[in-house]
Amino acid sequence: MARVGQRGRPRVLFSAVAAPLPVDSALQQLAQSLAAVIGEDDDAGRARAVRAGEHWSGQYAAGADAAKSDGPAAGLPAADVVSSLLRVFTEIGFEPELRSTEAAIALTACPFRAEARANADVVCSVHLGLVQGLVRTFGHDAASIRLEPFVQPTLCMVHLPASTPSA
């Protein structure tokens, strides 16, 4: 401390403080923690993860309802369901590609890849629930939809029911 009447500059004191995590890092840590804990419950965890995905689908289904001026999205033609799935996957960051010859949607990028590698049963089950929830909301049977994770290191496949024409 500088005393009154002394020459020179007063001492400046610095102290280190913890910097907050960037939001993306904090969200990634949260996702990893939730997936790890849910994954501890084996089959019960997988069922809860599918339900979480179905719950998540409600946000996108509500957006589809608002986007349609002629009423709710329930009962959409099958081709429109595929288009809606592609739009949702694009919004989330999966970079989807329609594979019409295979009746499938290729997910070429996954914004949750690190979490999925660590807890595929949970994270991929959430994504399956998301698709199933959307398809049901649009008035179609979702029971035969399958999600095949990590067909290749950076590729997952959503297999559509045979009754769902690929747009």
The residues pairing with 108 across neighbouring beta strands, listed in sequence order, are: none
Residue 97 tokens read as: 């590609």
- The pLDDT of residue 21: 66
Look up the pTM and report it.
Answer: 0.76
**What is the full per-residue pLDDT of the chain (167 aa) written as tens digits?**
556 667 777 677 767 777 776 777 788 888 888 888 888 877 788 899 999 999 999 988 766 554 554 544 555 567 788 898 999 999 999 999 999 888 899 999 999 998 999 999 999 999 999 999 999 988 888 989 999 999 999 999 999 876 554 44
Distance of CA 122 to the CA centre of its chain: 11
Q: In the 8-state DSSP scheme, what is residue 111? A: T
Contact 113, 83 (CB under 8 A): no
How much of the chain is helix, strand and coil, in % rounded to 5?
Answer: 50, 10, 35
Q: How many C-beta atoms surround the C-beta of residue 133 within 10 A?
A: 23
- The pLDDT of residue 66: 46
**Ramachandran category for residue 37: left, alpha or beta (phi over 0 → left; psi -120 to 50 → alpha):** alpha
- The pLDDT of residue 93: 94
* Angstrom distance (rounded) from CA 11 to CA 61: 61
Contact 154, 93 (CB under 8 A): no
Query: Strand 155-159 to strand 104-107: parallel, antiparallel, or no bridges (unpaired)?
Result: antiparallel
* Angstrom distance (rounded) from CA 13 to CA 100: 66
E strands, the chain, where? Answer: 96-99, 104-107, 146-152, 155-159
Residues whose CB falls within 8 Å of the CB of residue 31, separated by 6 or more in sequence, listed in order: 112, 115, 123
